[in-house]
Amino acid sequence: MLSGVDLAFKDVHVDINGTQILKNVSGQAKQGDMLAIMGPSGAGKSTLLNCLSCRRPISGGSVTLNGHPMTNKLRRKICYVLQEDILFTNLTCRETLKFTAMLKMPRRMPNDMKQKRVDDIIKILDLEKCQNTRVGDFLNPGLSGGEKKRTSIACELLTNPSLLVLDEPTSGLDSAIAYSLMQVLKTYTQQNKKTVVTTIHQPSSQIFYMFDNILLLCDGQVAYFGKSTRIMTFFNSIGLYSELDYNPADFILDKVKESDETQQKILTASMAMRNTDDWPRELRSLNSSFVSKDEEDEGITITVHSNNIEIDNVPALSYGLEKGITLVSSDAFDIDKYTVEGDKWPSSFWTQYTALLARAFINTKDRVLSKLTIIQTLCLAVILGMMWFNLERSEETYNDRLGVIFFMNAYLAMVPVFEILTSFPGEKKVITKEREAGTYRLSAYYWSKMTSEGPLVFILPTLFLSIAYWMVNLMREADNFIFCWLIMLLAVFTAQSIGLLLGIITPDFKTSITVASITMLAALLGAGFYTKHMPDWISWIQYLSFMHYAFGAMLKIEFRYGNPLKCNPIETTQFASCIISNGTGVIEGEDILQFAKMDNEIWIDIVALFVIFLLCRLSGYIFLRIFQKPGRN
């Protein structure tokens, strides 16, 4: 079985924008240990955690695993549970774990074993009652805060990590749930010889003594590092005493937040401790390797048995621990035999693609095809159809035909752009987290993203066009309708590509909406409906507008390949062909297209839409690949 690793960090310095965040921070966590990083807000806990998990570079010092400097290979032994629960809101708890197992567990492991692993983790973390509940968000509530946290941890435990790093795992949980969660982590660590490092804020005394070691930070410096059972002795030795029944976690945090004099006393004593036998020998030299201690640790001894925990050979119930602790079977974590050394990715490209495709489809379908969206599409299609109902094919309705075609293009193009911009920020967080963990190839994600929404995106334009096209009395021929429908779908997919690109390249939601508004309004202005006589120095904008090509293609279908329009009387006609015929003839489609300045070949419009579509998709991929690499700061 793949056991834990020995983590050591010595004299870690971190400077950010000229400000020293961490200074001379040292500590260690060995196989089977739980290390708690504590300290008041702003002490540098999260920064240190990011450094230990290779998510932030250090300015000085060293971080080693099993005595070796951190490498990409060693980094894959680390799993990181963020303080924020970053999950897809439309997936259920079980679906989240199922897709995580498909993506992160070894490709050679049978699917039925992966499913069993999901079942075991659900049982271990007490997620059975909520396994079919959606994660949810502030608009559509789902899992509770504690259930989300356990789901986040479950996603990491699936992969049998050697080193589990957690940022405030008990944040937002009530005391009972927090204690239950830490019980599971303690048992997991002890029975499987894993290594756990976590930040934690003011734990209960029961949780406090579950930790083997405590690293107490004060203003970015080490205020104490050593056994949790010896910390009160350390504080007593410098004249800081606690009431007998006082929570040690509350006491030490109160002291490091006291006066500057008290803080300096603690820091001075901590620095002096580095020159005593209480300081681990492994941390006294950068090049020293891990050496097992011959002497037994003093203080409270925590032992995990098959059905209970004993502290100094006293049943855990004497310390107020609840009965029935859920134990983690070692066999449940024995998946390393399916892992082949040297595999860059845990699963194949095809497995990643199919899992991401299914996940994206499930996560997207209820958003894209929500009841409100369908009602909105139906209502607007009917309203449009009633306003331009059964238009006569005559010159008198020429401007109305242009207006209805332009509106259909504008509406159906705007919807996917802003829909993807409102949903992508949340997805972007998940993708960033998973890419930082090396879960899958970027290409697998991007291909799944491109193909998963296709079946969903085409439904609303099809529904809208099927109603509006026939009510308005556009060219009532089946082949014209199909051709118009295909052009509209191409325009919608192009608009979606533009929205995805803007969501990728903009840093936040507010900026993306602003940039998208400017982009789409410029595309509308350049489409050719509002003006046909732009100044030469700005006329180039129409050739960058995808709506210009979509609008032009649909005009050609309606007029070039449709029946001609009847002329107005000669005194009101706008077309030369009607004047020649004395107002008794018809307007040929080419005359209308020339008048609208849209008389190029339709294949040019189609090719232009394809080019814009492909350029946006390719640009989005390149931007993610080059400018948003995992671990970039």
* Within-domain flag for 393: yes
Residue 183 phi, psi dihedral angles, 5° rounding = -60, -45
Give the Cα separation of 198 and 178 in Å (integer). Answer: 13
DSSP class of residue 218? E
Those residues with Cβ within 8 angstroms of residue 199's Cβ, 6 or more apart along the chain or in another chain: 36, 37, 38, 45, 46, 49, 83, 166, 167, 168
* Within-domain flag for 426: yes
* Within-domain flag for 612: yes
Residues 332 and 385 in one domain: no
Residues 411 and 482 in one domain: yes
* Within-domain flag for 136: no
Give the Cα separation of 58 and 77 in Å (integer). Answer: 19
Q: How many domains does the chain have?
A: 2
Residues 281 and 376 in one domain: no
Residue 100: CB atoms within 10 Å = 24
Give the Cα separation of 45 and 32 in Å (integer). Answer: 22
Q: Look up residue 49 and give its amino acid.
A: L
Residues 203 and 251 in one domain: yes
Residue 244 phi, psi dihedral angles, 5° rounding = -60, -35
pLDDT in tens, 513-568: 999 999 999 999 988 888 777 888 888 888 899 999 999 999 998 888 878 888 88
* Within-domain flag for 132: no
Q: What is residue 425's three-state secondary structure?
A: helix
**Alpha-carbon 547 to chain mean position:** 31
Q: What is the pLDDT of residue 321?
A: 34
* Within-domain flag for 494: yes
Quick check: pTM over 0.85? no
Judging by DSSP bridges, how do beta strands 309-311 and 163-167 pair with one another?
Answer: unpaired
Residue 526 tokens read as 């350049």
Q: Do residues 267 and 259 lie in contact, with contact meaning Cβ atoms separated by under 8 Å?
A: no
Residues 313 and 446 in one domain: no
Output the CA angle 364-353-374, nearest 5 degrees: 15
In the sheet where 19-29 sits, what is the strand order? 19-29, 7-16, 60-65, 68-69
Residue 36 phi, psi dihedral angles, 5° rounding = -105, 130
Residues 322 and 360 in one domain: no
Residues 325 and 365 in one domain: no
Residues 394 and 359 in one domain: yes
User: Which regions in the chain score pLDDT beneath 70?
Assistant: 1-4, 72-73, 285-336, 338-343, 476, 581-584, 630-633
Q: Which CATH number is 177's domain given? A: 3.40.50.300
Give the Cα separation of 167 and 29 in Å (integer). Answer: 16
- Of 520, 554, 526, 524, the closest CA to residue 419 belongs to 520
Give the Cα separation of 506 and 516 in Å (integer). Answer: 10
Those residues with Cβ within 8 angstroms of residue 253's Cβ, 6 or more apart along the chain or in another chain: 38, 39, 40, 202
Q: Do residues 260 and 253 lie in contact, with contact meaning Cβ atoms separated by under 8 Å?
A: no
Residues 307 and 358 in one domain: no
Residue 182 tokens read as 């830490």
Q: Which helix (H) or strand (E) element contains residue 20?
A: strand 19-29
Residues 511 and 548 in one domain: yes
pLDDT in tens, 282-326: 787 543 333 333 333 333 333 333 333 343 443 333 333 333 334
**Token pair 């050591």: residue:** 8
Residue 580: CB atoms within 10 Å = 11
DSSP class of residue 337? G
Give the Cα separation of 363 and 92 in Å (integer). Answer: 10
Judging by DSSP bridges, how do beta strands 19-29 and 34-38 pair with one another?
Answer: unpaired
Those residues with Cβ within 8 angstroms of residue 30's Cβ, 6 or more apart along the chain or in another chain: 4, 6, 7, 195, 290
**Alpha-carbon 254 to chain mean position:** 36
Residues 417 and 553 in one domain: yes
Residues 356 and 495 in one domain: yes
* Within-domain flag for 142: no
Those residues with Cβ within 8 angstroms of residue 469's Cβ, 6 or more apart along the chain or in another chain: 481, 484
Q: Look up residue 552 and give its amino acid.
A: G
Output the CA angle 233-235-238, nearest 5 degrees: 110
Q: What is residue 396's three-state secondary structure?
A: helix
Return the half-sphere exposure (C-beta side, CA atoms, 13 A cut-off) of residue 415: 24
* Within-domain flag for 246: yes
- Which DSSP string do the residues of 430-448 spell out, in sequence order? HHHHHHHTT-S-HHHHHHH
- Of 477, 458, 495, 483, the closest CA to residue 602 belongs to 483
Domain containing 556 equals 349-563+600-626
